[in-house]
Amino acid sequence: MLQHRTFISEWTDYASERKFAVVFSWKKLYENIQQDLKLFLFILMVISLFRVAFIVRMHAYMGDATSFYDIILSLYYGMRISLKSAGLLAVVSFACSYGLQLLFKFPSASIRLLLGTGYISLLSLLFYARIPYYEQFHMGFNQLVFNTFQDDVYALLYTLIEQYHLISRLAMTAGTAWVLHCLLKRWLNRGVIHLPHFSRWYQNIAVRALFLLVLYQLVIFIRFGGSMTYAYNVDWENSGVTKDQLLNEAVLDDMQALYRAYELHERMRYSTGLDIDPARMASYGQRLTGTSLTTANLDDYLKKKALGVNSGQPRHIFLIIAESYANWPLLPQYADLNIANGLKNIIRQDNAAYVPTLLPNGMSTISGVLGVTTGFADVNLYLNCIPEGYREPYPTAIAPQMKRLGYRPKFWYAGPTSWERIRDFTLAQGFEEFYGSGDYNSQSGNVWGCDDQYLYQAVLAGTEEEQPSFNVILSVSNHSPYTVDLAAAGFDPDHVMAGLPEALRHNQELVKQLGHFWYADKMLAEFVREARSQYPDSLFLIVGDHADRLNIEPNPKMYQRYGIPLVAYGKGVTKELFSNQAAGSHINVAPTLIELVAPAGFEYYSVAPSLTRGARVGVNYGFWITRDYIGKAENQPPEAIHESAPAEPGWNEIEQEIDTVRAISWWRIKKGSDLTAQ
């Protein structure tokens, strides 16, 4: 059989033989892998070329402060993340071309060229579609692309033709794809390096084993976006590495942008609400206010007036949401671990108050952030992924209410701005400034962001004496993968191991994790000390984002597993600020802060009450907590938090609190303030 027979002739031969045979050949395997590696490189270069062209074409959207370094950084991270896109397409090509050749004797070269042409045609189409999409939405492809399937098809097609020049764009797509097809064909027709063959069998085995080993390492490198470990993996959630929005979007090639759109769409699609009876909303509102008020406006039930507990407003407010800062390291039985000494020292100060019974809003950081910034309970609605979260700030949102009190609201995040759309969401909810890892002069960090040291340095540098500011600070260092240079930070493992059970003292991975908790605590305490020395009339509110990530017991009790702390420190704070029955969750943070800084009579909105005004029950996605008990959000026996706990609360009272908070949060998010809405 001739080597260069056409696809049709080989198929005819196969059909005439009418038999099935699998003949494995190292030579064919080696050559197919080599050809698909060539396809991989070609696709990677095409994607990179389109990225450069996109930046050049859309350069007017870049900010004035954007530097050449930012452009290089965008191209570098873009190349890394596109390794995944090109790698996926190459794997599909290999599976199809080699698989069909192996099983059915199809010509792999023809299949590969056909698939490659399809790839570059699709990439060309997406490139020309992305330009008007960015002009419209100031973002690459996102979940809004799925709205296309619900639009009027005729109107959409007409708009594409008239306004977005669909015909000419399709013509440019076809021309670009044809040129790239010709180049790809010539590239794939270049010769391959043949598999070496030796006279001794073990030499051949060694060469093949080495080849497979190198191939495996290359696959890992591509899988993790130019890294050999997950610690430095690049994906759409941490790709916002520069301070320029356009360049951050350029990092994502069109395949990655579509993947982001799919992920966000799926999160929104599976955001189910509660089965809420509209007729019961008034009773929920009345329970919230403790009055017999009847109104069709839900916001009337959310309105409160501050008591004015503080004698004067602090100039600067720092609300720190500390990554994975659980409450259990603050408990007396874990004192010998020495990983939370910084916050414990703050709590001991005369002008500090501590609530040890707080629950996170949800299982993840973003859920905690949403609870703090909006004041709504987690009801399985991803506020950062649904349109309602971007229309206007909610009345319960913390930023615009702090702005009414004279503060400039700023959000400081140690990670990339693209994570969970945090920048877009917080700005939509009233924050006037947002800073991410691309804005800091950081020297170290991992896939989730810069080390806490550089985050806090940036906050101090960005705080102005004259302008009162409200700063929300979200850290990341106490998060896997654990990459902080603990030795350079002064961590002594012996101090931690002294507090561990004997069986765990040689668990180096656990010691490393505890060391990162120590580091996060140390950086937080140093920041508070430095900020207070510069701005003595400041107020600090410190809260964990979630727990349930690190424990030294294999089966910790619910309180040790889920509890997070809340600490108030600074101007106007006394030990008696919170009652000994105070308990809550993230949705109690905003009203608590407002009560600490607002003058008497100031009107504000919140679902939950302030911890200074008798909040005694905290609820979240699956649990409830009081000062004495913690339990699941269902009628099951709770766990006592301490040995001297009194009689446990009745389930009916707890259930009513859970239903009220969830129902009101869900309704206000999905239906607005109108209680007559259907």
Tokens for 504?
A: 């765990």
Q: What is the pLDDT of residue 529?
A: 98
**Is the Cβ–Cβ distance between 519 and 489 less than 8 Å?**
yes
pLDDT band with cut points at 50, 70 and 90 for residue 239: confident
Beta strands in 560-659 (DSSP E): 564-570, 584-585, 603-605, 618-619, 623-625, 629-632, 639-640
- 598-638, pLDDT tens digit by residue? 999 999 999 999 999 989 999 998 899 999 999 998 888 99
* pLDDT, mean of residues 23-46: 87
- 69-112, pLDDT tens digit by residue? 999 999 999 999 999 999 999 999 999 998 888 888 888 889 99
Q: What is the pLDDT of residue 7?
A: 39
pLDDT band with cut points at 50, 70 and 90 for residue 249: very high
The CA angle 338-340-344, to the nearest 5 degrees, is 110
**Is the Cβ–Cβ distance between 562 and 360 less than 8 Å?**
yes
Burial status of residue 676 (CB atoms within 10 A of its CB: 0-12, 13-18, 19 or more): exposed
* pLDDT, mean of residues 108-120: 93
Q: What is the pLDDT of residue 188?
A: 92
Closest C-alpha among 597, 603, 654, 596 to residue 624:
654
List Cα–Cα distances, 13 to 10, 113, 144, 242, 572, in angstroms. Answer: 5, 21, 49, 57, 89
Instruction: Please determine, for residue 330, whether its predicted confidence score (pLDDT) is greater than 80.
Output: yes
pLDDT band with cut points at 50, 70 and 90 for residue 148: low
Element of type H or E holding 427: helix 422-428
How far apart, in whole angstroms, are the C-alpha atoms of residue 676 and residue 466?
46
Whole-structure pTM value: 0.84
How far apart, in whole angstroms, are the C-alpha atoms of residue 207 and residue 393?
63
Instruction: Between 343 and 312, name the one with better pLDDT.
Output: 343
Instruction: Please determine, for residue 13, whether its predicted confidence score (pLDDT) is greater than 50.
Output: no
Q: What is the pLDDT of residue 275?
A: 61
C-alpha torsion angle, residues 128, 129, 135, 140 (rounded to 10): -110
What is the residue extent of each domain of the chain?
23-267, 278-670
How far apart, in whole angstroms, are the C-alpha atoms of residue 241 and residue 260?
16
Instruction: Please determine, for residue 258, whether its predicted confidence score (pLDDT) is greater than 80.
Output: yes
How far apart, in whole angstroms, are the C-alpha atoms of residue 142 and residue 228?
29
Q: φ and ψ at 639, to 5 degrees?
A: -105, 140
Instruction: Please determine, for residue 142, whether its predicted confidence score (pLDDT) is greater than 90.
Output: no
Closest C-alpha among 236, 215, 9, 255 to residue 124:
255
HEC states along 484-512?
A: CCHHHHCCCHHHHHCCCCHHHCCCHHHHH
Q: Which of 29-38, 202-211, 406-415, 424-433 has the lowest mean pLDDT?
A: 202-211
pLDDT band with cut points at 50, 70 and 90 for residue 230: confident
Instruction: Between 584 and 644, name the one with better pLDDT.
Output: 584
**Is the Cβ–Cβ distance between 612 and 596 less than 8 Å?**
yes
Element of type H or E holding 7: helix 7-17
pLDDT band with cut points at 50, 70 and 90 for residue 340: very high
Q: What is the pLDDT of residue 359?
A: 98
Q: What is the pLDDT of residue 18?
A: 42
For residue 150, the tally of other CB atoms under 10 A from its CB is 6
Tokens for 453?
A: 């040291």
- Give the percent of the chain with pLDDT over 70: 92
pLDDT band with cut points at 50, 70 and 90 for residue 268: low
Q: What is the pLDDT of residue 10?
A: 44
How far apart, in whole angstroms, are the C-alpha atoms of residue 108 and residue 102?
9
How far apart, in whole angstroms, are the C-alpha atoms of residue 625 and residue 623?
7
Tokens for 509?
A: 């991975």
How far apart, in whole angstroms, are the C-alpha atoms of residue 323 and residue 475?
5
How far apart, in whole angstroms, are the C-alpha atoms of residue 208 and residue 77?
33
Name residues whose C-beta falls within 8 Å of residue 504's C-beta, 6 or more positions apart in sequence.
510, 552
**Is the Cβ–Cβ distance between 274 and 379 less than 8 Å?**
yes
Name residues whose C-beta falls within 8 Å of residue 672's C-beta, 6 or more positions apart in sequence.
298
pLDDT band with cut points at 50, 70 and 90 for residue 237: confident
* pLDDT, mean of residues 551-574: 93
Closest C-alpha among 663, 614, 656, 616 to residue 633:
656
**Is the Cβ–Cβ distance between 220 and 471 less than 8 Å?**
no
Burial status of residue 88 (CB atoms within 10 A of its CB: 0-12, 13-18, 19 or more): middle
For residue 198, the tally of other CB atoms under 10 A from its CB is 11
Q: Which of 37-51, 153-167, 175-189, 508-522 has the lowest mean pLDDT?
A: 153-167
Q: Mean pLDDT, the chain, as a whole number? A: 89
Name residues whose C-beta falls within 8 Å of residue 594's C-beta, 6 or more positions apart in sequence.
306, 398, 401, 402, 405, 602, 604, 606, 610
How far apart, in whole angstroms, are the C-alpha atoms of residue 547 and residue 532?
27
* pLDDT, mean of residues 496-524: 94
Name residues whose C-beta falls within 8 Å of residue 287's C-beta, 6 or more positions apart in sequence.
656, 660
CATH architecture of 278-670: 3-Layer(aba) Sandwich (3.40)
Closest C-alpha among 590, 568, 540, 566 to residue 404:
590
First to last CA, the chain: 73
Beta strands in 424-538 (DSSP E): 433-435, 445-446, 449-450, 469-474
- 200-214, pLDDT tens digit by residue? 888 888 888 888 898
* pLDDT, mean of residues 237-241: 85
Q: What is the pLDDT of residue 15?
A: 40
How far apart, in whole angstroms, are the C-alpha atoms of residue 242 and residue 249?
10
Angle between helix axes 254-269 and 68-104 (nearest 10 degrees) is 80
Q: Is the N-terminal amide bond of 646 cis, ω within 30° of 0?
A: no
- 365-408, pLDDT tens digit by residue? 999 999 999 999 998 888 988 888 999 999 999 999 999 999 99
